[in-house]
Structure 1
Amino acid sequence: MGYRNLTDCVRDLERTGQLRRIDVELDGELEIAAVQRRVFQAGGPALLFTRVKGCAFPMLGNLFGTMQRTRFLFRDTLPLVQRLLAFKTDPAEWLKSPGSWPGALRGALHLLPRKVGGGPVIRCRTRIDKLPGLKSWPKDGGPFITLPQVYSESIAQPGWRHSNLGMYRVQLAGNRYRPNQEIGLHYQLHRGIGIHHAEALKRNQPLRVNIFVGGPPCLTVAAVMPLPEGMPELCFAGLLGGRRIALINRAGQLPMPAEADFCISGTIVPDKLLPEGPFGDHLGYYSLQHDFPVLAVDAVYHRPDAIWPFTSVGRPPQEDSVFGAFIHELTGPMIPELVPGVHAVHAVDAAGVHPLLLAIGSERYLPYETLRQPRELLTQANALLGTGQLSLAKYLLIVARQDAPRLNIHDVAAYLRHLLERVDWRRDLHFQTRTSIDTLDYSGPDLHQGSKVVIAAAGPPIRTLSTELPCDLSLPQGFSDPRLVVPGVLAIQAPPATVNRGQADPAVESFCAFFGPEHPIRQIPWVVLVDDSRFTASHLDHFLWVAFTRSDPATDLYGVDAGTKLKHWGCSGPLVLDARLKPHHPAPLEDDPATIKRIEAMAARGGPLHGIM
């Protein structure tokens, strides 16, 4: 049976040696987040900060910091959840393992929340300024809730059956919010709360929202789970948590989990937007200040023994990377059902998740064709870009399983090599321009706006990839230090970018025009222009982060001997990607040096943080 509440979870982790109490006073402004990030990178334990400067509530960090610990949290229910998902993917599994039916049916009973008249979460009340004020990065606009569970219901069909529980950024103070009366609610494209908000605006009615913090860990995971539209996250939380979620239902209020640690109740203010941010985000940069909805706070509840769980996001990998891996572990087998012919997908964490999506599909349209080329792959690519949050991908790379049945989609270097051996830049680039991209991605010509490219490769290899730099590799003036990242990918240091947002760069066009028909650079299929080629080529993860977070396909893809034929763009020479930081890009995240110096002193021998970071 899963945990009833977060306190039970903390006790269990402490009993099994997977949690460490930090009893020295630390500040929620920069210090606690910096410690959590360092301990995550070290593969360390969950952390209970018992003395938070200026705050009465303890803070829990790194709860989901390793896959081993995340699986441990749900050890009693994980096999059942996986079995039920397998049944949905392949109904024949019911016939193969009839002995699973009784357990599966009992588990399914946990899907339904149960109504209760009261519970621990409503026993105490406080104010917004009494909550832990976590500030993760120096330029953050204020304190944020980083593991919120934002609950809303359909105005047209109220009740939990038409509810949404999502993890949307919540700013507690700063900017122009009225202290203790207003907080910022940042939700992005393709989020369930947006449907409820649109309904409320259409009917000119206020939208009530509850923000839960804490409770059993299954609630946190449910809030980030990409469930099919129409399946309430509360149902999945009950299944994963091994018990029905107890919901307090009081007249005139939205329900709240009885065992949550905190609940902020309020109403989205109609026709009011206020600046929210900046905030250091999961792409590894600051998301800048923009207008987002405002929540007028009615009440702040908490249980007597409340614990405030948190995380700190930044350039991957971080704790939210474990969320992604865990979700893929649960939902990966369902991909072939969602998109027929697709065998596997991988949203690459090192590239910021949404910017780069790898896929392995099938190429079965013309089995008699002498030389296989992408046909069915393009159908599958379009379907993937219309499926849930996969639609936020900027770069979708897809290859045919028939060409390499054992290709491992999580071996990114091998995948890139397979694709680059087969891709034909004259044929295999397929763009979508002026479309929606991730709100947090600033590479496009405007907020929420950018482009996508599908790179589809199928058939036998058409080139051999060199594992060494070509000899006599001359470059235009200002371009220097060429370095091979992986076979077929060359990073070149370029002058700083200076052009305005959404415009082609004449310097890159001149770079492409420099190379004659016999130039040795033509031995390399993909050239990437960067600010620091040494850093970019030093590790594959560096390349993935630089190349795909700092570029927009329609703006930043160029080519040697490029041209357009029947509105199809391609190039016969190397593809050139401009992955430099542009003037409109936000700054990469950097720790505050003074903060790092303080916590490193605490980590020295004899210090309170020794041995965990």
Structure 2
Amino acid sequence: MAYRDFREFLDALEKAGELKRIAEPVSPSLEITEIANRVMKSDGPALLFENVVGPPHRLGTPNPRSAVLGEPPLEASLEQSQRFGFPVAINTMGSRKRMSMALGVADFEEHAERIAALLPPPIPRSPADALQLAVRVFKELKSAIPKTVSRGPCQEIVLKGDEVDLTQLPILTCWPEDGGPFLTLPLVFTYDPNTGKRNVGMYRMQLYDRNTCGMHWQMHKTGMRHMEELASPSPLAPPGERGPGGEGHQPSKARGVEIPPPGTLHVAVALGGDPAYTFSAISPLPPGLDEMAFAGFLRRKNAELVQCKTIDMKVPADAEIVLEGYVDPSERRLEGPFGDHTGYYSLAGMFPVFHCTCVTMREKAIYPATIVGQPPMEDGWMGKAVERIFMPMIRLTVPEIVDIHLPIEACFHNVAFVSIKKKYPGHAYKVMNAVWGLGGLAFTKFVFVFDEDVDVQDTAAVLFRLGANCDPGRDALHSRGPVDQLDHASLAEGFGGKIGFDCTHKWPGENGFSRDFPKLIEMSSKVKEKIDQLWPKLGL
């Protein structure tokens, strides 16, 4: 199902007993994090903080090695406190059930089945088959085309110029040594300046002051590429066909909206809306595939987009809050530290700056947020949904893969358990290298490959076969390549070592193996069938 907006999703969670309202006054500086962290670690519900009160935001970035600004007081007098006029929703996708509800299904595996049915399309045997295939594909994809609407709830309130004050938002300071408050669940909209194609990503944003934020675009992120393309346009881009903010492209003027400084990248930041938008923003989609189109596919209803007020960008009409603005490719500012999904603080660094030109929002807007830190956290279930939903696309590229498990405890990108249909000696090594060449899986540091009869979702089964079938001196493949830029253990930032382990049964002569590989202990099927019939009588 498709949700009309974020608040309808919250209503659905509450009706299902999956949301807890918090009426006690709680500060967005550290206190919400501590409460949410305890709830996440205990598989607790989504939380809606209705009385967000605390000291004014601490702005600025401390020394990367020390919290120069110090922790804010846990208690503040009424004179020192600020009442934020926005409820804060958090942990809304922090369980399998809530993640599935966010995607409008009983279980998010249903979307994997939908994708598998489309990949690859079968070759029709007759005109009737071709028509039937076309109808089926049309039914699945008709909702993928975003729809433009003339107005939306996200623009019930419009603030421009001196009215813009981002410090009024209940932006969370998550951990004691964070550089300041951070938007943690923003949908960041940019356009490719050469092709005009839209991209929606999710990047943390540190609040600097009333109208500027840090934009944490790492070197491999699409937003960073769009900014760099604007600064150094591709020679292959036809004149006059560059995207918003680029030379020769000025649809903003034609639409009567204000234009940010020339040579800057138009950027919009949406908070809230149907949670399918949020999931699409973190999804590893093929290059050029519009996240809003994928969101429409997931929700089986076209995403409705509305034109921004001051930039040439369209955003979800049902968003709670929208920040409009731009990024200047020549500008950098110190951003961080930040308590990250690795469980450690990522260090401060120089990153682009987002300038907010306009804030639009709904009446009585709700502020969505999340926190990251030592797993398990809410983002673990978002990652698990990505793993399951995109399995058909992985199998399309590497068909011998049966299943993949990316443990939440290892932050997903650090460890991969892979089961395969082994067809020849050394097959596991082929799969290791394939995994290191697959999109976001390229950042995986440890790859363990097992036979197809191993349930890689079962840690006990994985550890048993690892210990039984793998010789570290013979079955390890060492490599080097890209790793998560936040990986503090790597050789260099964004580059480090990798290792794969062949945990499959070895074939005669495989990789120098000269012994007979023993059989796995199993009971005969006849005895098992007999005991199955006897079992109810045993009282066990």
8 Å contact from structure 1 (residues 185, 295) kept in 2: yes
8 Å contact from structure 2 (residues 311, 324) kept in 1: no
Cα distance in 1 for partners of 2:220, 2:465 equals: 32
Cα distance in 2 for partners of 1:76, 1:428 equals: 41
Quickly say closer, same or farther: Cα 1:17–1:101, change in 2 above 3 A: farther
Counterpart code for 1:313? V
1:393 maps onto 2:444 in alignment: yes
- Residue in structure 1 matched with residue 141 of structure 2 by the alignment: 108
Quickly say closer, same or farther: Cα 1:428–1:136, change in 2 above 3 A: same
Cα distance in 1 for partners of 2:410, 2:186 equals: 24
8 Å contact from structure 1 (residues 217, 241) kept in 2: no
Shift of 1:139: 0.9
Cα distance in 2 for partners of 1:76, 1:340 equals: 27
1:69 maps onto 2:98 in alignment: yes
- Residue in structure 1 matched with residue 232 of structure 2 by the alignment: 202
8 Å contact from structure 2 (residues 182, 204) kept in 1: yes
Quickly say closer, same or farther: Cα 1:449–1:76, change in 2 above 3 A: closer
- Residue in structure 1 matched with residue 518 of structure 2 by the alignment: none
8 Å contact from structure 1 (residues 30, 134) kept in 2: yes
8 Å contact from structure 1 (residues 55, 130) kept in 2: yes
Shift of 1:123: 2.4
1:384 maps onto 2:384 in alignment: no
1:455 maps onto 2:455 in alignment: no
Match for residue 199 of structure 2 among 158, 164, 175: 164
Cα distance in 2 for partners of 1:329, 1:79 equals: 6
Cα distance in 2 for partners of 1:213, 1:256 equals: 10
Cα distance in 2 for partners of 1:381, 1:15 equals: 45
Match for residue 220 of structure 1 among 263, 268, 278: 278
Match for residue 117 of structure 1 among 123, 136, 150: 150
Cα distance in 2 for partners of 1:195, 1:290 equals: 18
Match for residue 456 of structure 2 among 409, 429, 433: 409
How many residue pairs were aligned? 443
- 1:122-167 deviation per Cα after TM superposition (whole angstroms, max 9, x unaligned): 2222421111120111111111111111111110111xxx211111
Q: Output aligned runs, 1:319-338, within 5 Å.
A: 319-338=378-397
Question: 2:329 is paired with a residue of what secondary structure?
Answer: strand
Cα distance in 2 for partners of 1:113, 1:332 equals: 25
8 Å contact from structure 1 (residues 28, 133) kept in 2: yes
- 1:511-556 deviation per Cα after TM superposition (whole angstroms, max 9, x unaligned): xxxxxxxxxxxxxxxxxxxxxxxxxxxxxxxxxxxxxxxxxxxxxx
Cα distance in 2 for partners of 1:347, 1:16 equals: 28
8 Å contact from structure 2 (residues 185, 202) kept in 1: yes
Question: 2:341 is paired with a residue of what secondary structure?
Answer: coil
8 Å contact from structure 1 (residues 87, 94) kept in 2: no
- Residue in structure 2 matched with residue 129 of structure 1 by the alignment: 167
Cα distance in 1 for partners of 2:453, 2:468 equals: 16
Shift of 1:446: 2.6
Cα distance in 1 for partners of 2:397, 2:379 equals: 24
8 Å contact from structure 1 (residues 384, 391) kept in 2: yes
Counterpart code for 1:7? R
Match for residue 439 of structure 1 among 485, 490, 502: 485
1:300 maps onto 2:359 in alignment: yes
Quickly say closer, same or farther: Cα 1:171–1:455, change in 2 above 3 A: same
- 1:21-65 deviation per Cα after TM superposition (whole angstroms, max 9, x unaligned): 111110000111111122222322221111111311111111112
1:265 maps onto 2:295 in alignment: no
Shift of 1:100: 9.8
Shift of 1:90: 5.0
8 Å contact from structure 2 (residues 333, 350) kept in 1: yes
1:314 maps onto 2:390 in alignment: no
Counterpart code for 1:431? H
TM-score computed with the length of structure 1 as normaliser: 0.67
Q: Output aligned runs, 1:582-597, within 5 Å.
A: none
- 1:60-93 deviation per Cα after TM superposition (whole angstroms, max 9, x unaligned): 1111121112223333596873443021335359
- 1:213-241 deviation per Cα after TM superposition (whole angstroms, max 9, x unaligned): 11111111111111122211101111222
Sequence identity, in percent? 31
Cα distance in 2 for partners of 1:135, 1:103 equals: 48
Quickly say closer, same or farther: Cα 1:11–1:191, change in 2 above 3 A: same
Q: Output aligned runs, 1:82-101, within 5 Å.
A: 82-92=112-122
8 Å contact from structure 2 (residues 109, 388) kept in 1: no
Shift of 1:376: 2.4
Counterpart code for 2:313? L
8 Å contact from structure 2 (residues 387, 406) kept in 1: no
Cα distance in 1 for partners of 2:351, 2:474 equals: 41
Counterpart code for 2:370? T
Quickly say closer, same or farther: Cα 1:252–1:49, change in 2 above 3 A: closer
Question: 2:205 is paired with a residue of what secondary structure?
Answer: strand
Q: Which moved more, 1:289-298 or 1:331-340?
A: 331-340
- Residue in structure 2 matched with residue 538 of structure 1 by the alignment: none
Larger RCO (CA within 8 A; separation ≥ 6)? 2
Match for residue 347 of structure 2 among 277, 282, 288: 288
Shift of 1:102: 5.8
1:13 maps onto 2:71 in alignment: no
Q: Which moved more, 1:415-424 or 1:435-444?
A: 415-424
Cα distance in 1 for partners of 2:371, 2:211 equals: 25
8 Å contact from structure 1 (residues 335, 345) kept in 2: no
Shift of 1:429: 2.6
Quickly say closer, same or farther: Cα 1:135–1:100, change in 2 above 3 A: farther
- 1:272-323 deviation per Cα after TM superposition (whole angstroms, max 9, x unaligned): 2222111111111111111111112222221113111111111111111111
1:142 maps onto 2:177 in alignment: no
Counterpart code for 2:207? L
Cα distance in 1 for partners of 2:10, 2:349 equals: 37
- Residue in structure 2 matched with residue 340 of structure 1 by the alignment: 399
Q: Which moved more, 1:184-193 or 1:376-385?
A: 184-193
Cα distance in 1 for partners of 2:347, 2:123 equals: 48
Quickly say closer, same or farther: Cα 1:457–1:14, change in 2 above 3 A: closer
8 Å contact from structure 1 (residues 115, 246) kept in 2: yes
Cα distance in 1 for partners of 2:169, 2:484 equals: 30
Counterpart code for 2:348? Q
Quickly say closer, same or farther: Cα 1:103–1:62, change in 2 above 3 A: farther
Quickly say closer, same or farther: Cα 1:423–1:195, change in 2 above 3 A: same
- Residue in structure 2 matched with residue 521 of structure 1 by the alignment: none
Cα distance in 2 for partners of 1:355, 1:216 equals: 30
Quickly say closer, same or farther: Cα 1:11–1:411, change in 2 above 3 A: closer
Q: Which moved more, 1:356-365 or 1:128-137?
A: 356-365
- 1:184-212 deviation per Cα after TM superposition (whole angstroms, max 9, x unaligned): 11133542223322311213842211111
Cα distance in 2 for partners of 1:349, 1:189 equals: 24
Counterpart code for 1:451? G
Question: 1:305 is paired with a residue of what secondary structure?
Answer: coil
Shift of 1:94: 9.7
- Residue in structure 2 matched with residue 590 of structure 1 by the alignment: none
8 Å contact from structure 1 (residues 81, 239) kept in 2: no
